Amino acid sequence: MEPVAIGTKPIIALKSVDLPLPLTPTKAVIVPVGIVLVALVLLFAGVGRLVWDIANASPLSGPANRSPSWDHPLGTDRRGRDSLAVIIVGTPKTLYIGLLAGTIGVVIGTVLALIAAYFGGAALARDATALARAGRSKVLADLLTVNRTLAATDVATAVAAGDPVSVGLVRDGGRRLGQVIASLVSFFNPGMVVIGGGVAQLGHQLLSEVRSVVYRRSLPLATGNLPIVLSELEGKAGVIGAAWSASDRAFQAVAAGSASESVQAL
Residue 40 scores a pLDDT above 70: yes
Q: Is residue 163 part of a domain?
A: yes
Same domain, 44 and 65: yes
- Domain shared by 79 and 97, yes or no: yes
Please check whether residue 217 lies inside any domain of the structure: yes
Q: Please indicate, yes or no, whether residues 100 and 158 belong to a single structural domain of this protein.
A: no
Judgement on whether residues 94 and 197 belong to the same structural domain of the protein: no
The answer to whether residues 14 and 181 touch, using CB atoms and an 8 Å cutoff, is yes
| pLDDT tens digits along 81-118 | 888 888 888 888 888 888 888 888 888 778 777 766 66
Confidence bin at 247 (pLDDT 50/70/90): confident
Q: For residue 89, give its domain range.
A: 26-117
Q: Does 258 fall in a domain?
A: no
Last residue of a domain, one of 117, 138, 163: 117
3-state secondary structure of 82: strand
Determine the pLDDT at residue 19.
46
* Domain assignment present for 256: no
Tens of pLDDT, residues 214-224: 888 887 877 87
Q: Give residue 56's pLDDT.
A: 82
Identify whether residues 107 and 1 lie together within a single domain: no
CATH number of the domain bearing residue 232: 3.30.420.40
Contacts 24+ apart (CB under 8 A), 201-205: 201/152, 201/153, 201/156, 201/234, 202/124, 202/152, 202/155, 202/156, 202/159, 202/170, 203/156, 203/159, 203/160, 203/230, 204/230, 205/159, 205/167, 205/170, 205/171, 205/174
Residue 227 has pLDDT above 60, yes or no: yes
Q: Which of 91, 117, 143 is the last residue before a domain boundary? A: 117
End position of a domain, from candidates 99, 117, 135? 117
**E strand or H helix at 195:** strand 192-196
DSSP E strand stretches across 197-244: 228-230
In a domain, 255, yes or no: no
Statement to judge: residues 70 and 164 lie in one domain: no
Residue 112 in domain: yes
Residues 199 and 222 in one domain: yes
30 belongs to a structural domain:
yes
Q: What is the mean pLDDT of the chain?
A: 79
Lowest mean pLDDT among 14-28, 60-74, 140-154, 207-221: 14-28
Q: What pLDDT score was predicted for residue 3?
A: 42
pLDDT, tens digit, for every residue of 122-133?
A: 778 888 899 899
Instruction: State whether 126 and 96 are in the same domain.
Output: no
Q: How confident is the model at residue 6 (pLDDT cuts 50, 70, 90)?
A: very low
Residues 98 and 217 in one domain: no
Q: Note whether 205 and 106 are same-domain residues.
A: no
- On whether the CB atoms of residues 99 and 92 are closer than 8 A, the answer is no
Both 34 and 108 in one domain: the answer is: yes
pLDDT of residue 4: 42
Q: Where is pLDDT greater, at 6 or 165?
A: 165
Q: What b/e sequence results for 163-175 when a residue is b if at least 16 CB atoms lie within 10 Å of its CB, and e otherwise?
A: bebbeebbeebbe
